[in-house]
Structure formats: structure tokens, C-alpha cells
Amino acid sequence: QKTAYEIYQCDWSSDVCSSDLEDYPGFLSIEGSELARLMQEQAEHFGAEIAMEDVTSVRSEGPGGIVKVVETFDRTYRAKAVILTAGGSPVKLDVPGEERLNARGVSYCAVCDGPFFNGRVLAVVGGGDAAVEEATYLTKYASKVILIHRRDQLRAQKILQDRYFANPKASVLWNSVIEEITGDNSVDGVRIRNVVTGQTSSVQVGGVFVFIGFKPNGDILADTGVTRDHGGHIVTNANMETGVPGIYAAGDVRAQLARQVTTAVGDATTAALAAEKYIEALTHP
């Protein structure tokens, strides 16, 4: 399954963005952006209003913090309850060349950028589901894909590993980390260090795709007193309640085992029901 993050990182208006889900109940296969569009249409049909704005902060106001205030760049919203579903952002490698060559051969989205790398040798960094799945996707365009992983064992599900290794364009460099991404105006290679032998080498590649996990976008709740775990995920109970009454979290932004579209949808259902009960209790104590 795709994470909610993987779906939303796509440019919906772009033809190249086709992130298929093959295990969302009810569909043999559906494009992520199409599923999101259908969800939006359904929500609007039942009266939801949707505003496309960047939220900068969430805070509580008034006696006992009863009013929830959501600030965006342009507006301030006041509500009785807030459900945060902000997902996450890709973790960066934090090596020389990565920032400078971002969007010039360094990418964090295979479905968005893969088609631009037709016939090139590509490096994919990471050993989890995302890296292995996206590496397999990139074999559609690349002449060769080199998966670079810091250990000698992948963390990805076996089915994804089997699919990758069955592809003749797939290869892997074990126990290896990228120390530098090189190139003047675009990526022309990576400098790699073997973490076991300490040996360094240069490999010529035309692009570097980084999938080493993702960081939850929970910072906007920093001033609310909501608890977050060591990775920055928002901690909730089974009702999606944070420790602050009236503030809920759902999906990839909260601490949980799975980061799947199906679990995010389940979280959101629970959070909406819990928020409704909370608002009812405020109105009819």
C-alpha cells in the first residue's frame, strides 16, 4: 500500500503522477490521486468545505482552552475541535550535494520524476518498503537501478524484495552509505563508503532517489502541549485523542505501527466520531 504521504506528494495535475494502490478495499487497483479526488467529492457531497491553505499553527484559547485556533498564512479559523492529519515529509540524507542538486537529479518521488530519467543509471537509497517499491518502479525508465543500503539486509516486505530482485535491471550495494552527491548542474555520480571495510568509491549515476523514511509534520502543534514521541509522531489513545481535549490526530502524523491509507482512513473515522461526541458534550454537558 501507498502511504498517504506518497499519494499527496504527487502533483495531481500532472500526467506523470500515477501512484497505484492495489490493496485498498473495493478496488483491484486505483490511482492514488483518483482515490483522493473521489474522497474529496464524497466529503463535499455531504457538506464538507475544503480550503487549500498552509497551516502555520494550532493553539487553544479562551477559558480552559476551549476554543481551538488554526492559523494559516492568510486566515484564522476558530473551532470547537481539530483533527490533525498533516502526514509527513521525506527524511533527507543530509550529505553534501543533496540540497544543491535537489530537483536537478536528486528526488524524493519516483512516480513524479521517474519518467525524466529515461535510460539513465539511477541510485535509490534506503532498505524499507518505500525504497524497494520505488526502485522497482524506476526500473521502468532507468537502464539500471542501484539500491544502496546501509546494512546487509533489507527491511522491506519479502514480496516487494522478490519483485525487485526478479527484475534484470535491479542491483544492490550492501553495507553502503552515500557520502556525497556530485555534479555541477545536475547529478553525475555519488561517492560511496562501505561501512564494513571503510573503503570509498565513486559510482556514476544520472539521478539519486532518496527513501529513508519520513518525518511527521507535527511541528504545528508544538505550542499546544500535545505529546509527541522521540520521532516527532503525535501520541494518541485508541480514540485518536491527544492529551489536549478537543485536539485529535489521524494517519501518518500519529505514532502507530502501520502507515497505510487504510489505517489512515480508519483513524480519521474514529477521530471524527470522537470529536463529534466531544462537541456534543460541550453543547449539552
Q: With CB under 6 A as the contact rule, which of the stretches 56-64, 128-136, 187-195, 270-278 interacts with ligand NAP?
A: 128-136
Q: How far is the CB of 176 from ligand NAP (least distance, A)?
A: 9
Query: Rounded CA gap, 91 and 233, in Å?
Result: 14
Does residue 109 carry a catalytic annotation? Answer: yes
Among 137, 141, 214, 248, binds ligand NAP (CB under 6 A): 214
Shortest separation between residue 18's beta carbon and ligand NAP, angstroms: 15
Q: Which is nearer to ligand NAP, 130 or 274 (CB)?
A: 130
Catalytic residue among 109, 129, 252, 267: 109
Q: How crowded is the C-beta side of 264, counted as CA atoms within 13 Å?
A: 21
Tell which one of 129, 161, 187, 253 touches ligand NAP (CB under 6 A). 129
* Binding flag, residue 213, ligand NAP (CB under 6 A): yes
In the region spanning residues 137 to 166, those forming contacts with ligand NAP, defined by CB under 6 A, are 150-151, 155
**Contact residue for ligand NAP among 4, 17, 36, 131 (CB under 6 A):** 131
Is 233 one of the binding residues for ligand NAP (CB under 6 A)? no
CB of 26 to ligand NAP, least distance (A): 18
What contacts 47, CB < 8 A, 6 or more positions away? none
State the Cα–Cα distance between residues 69 and 85, nearest whole angstrom: 16
| Cβ neighbours of 218 (radius 10 Å) | 24
Q: What span, in angstroms and rounded, lies between the C-alpha atoms of 41 and 117?
A: 34
Instruction: Verify whether residue 129 is a known catalytic residue.
Output: no
Four-CA torsion 129, 135, 137, 138, nearest 10 degrees: 160
Q: Buried b vs exposed e over 115-132: b needs ≥16 C-beta within 10 Å?
A: bebeebbbbbbbbbbbbb
Q: Which is nearer to ligand NAP, 89 or 143 (CB)?
A: 89
The CA distance from 207 to 145, in Å, is 10
Phi, psi (rounded to 5 degrees) for 111: -70, -30
Least distance between ligand NAP and beta carbon 131 (Å): 6
- The region of 50-58, 79-87, 212-220, 270-278 touching ligand NAP under the rule CB under 6 A is 212-220
Judge whether 10 counts as a catalytic residue: no
Q: Is 212 in the site for ligand NAP (CB under 6 A)?
A: yes
Residues 76 and 70: beta-carbon distance below 8 Å: yes
Contact segment (CB under 6 A) with ligand NAP among 36-44, 111-119, 135-143, 208-216 equals: 208-216
Q: Check residue 128 for interaction with ligand NAP (CB under 6 A).
A: yes
Helix, strand, coil % over all residues of the chain, rounded to 5: 30, 25, 45
Q: Which stretch binds ligand NAP (CB under 6 A): 7-15, 206-214, 262-270, 276-284?
A: 206-214
Residues 6+ positions from 188 with CB-CB distance below 8 Å = 105, 182, 204, 205, 206
Residues with catalytic roles: 109, 112-113
Positions that interact with ligand NAP (CB under 6 A)? 1, 3, 125-131, 133, 150-151, 155, 177, 211-214, 259
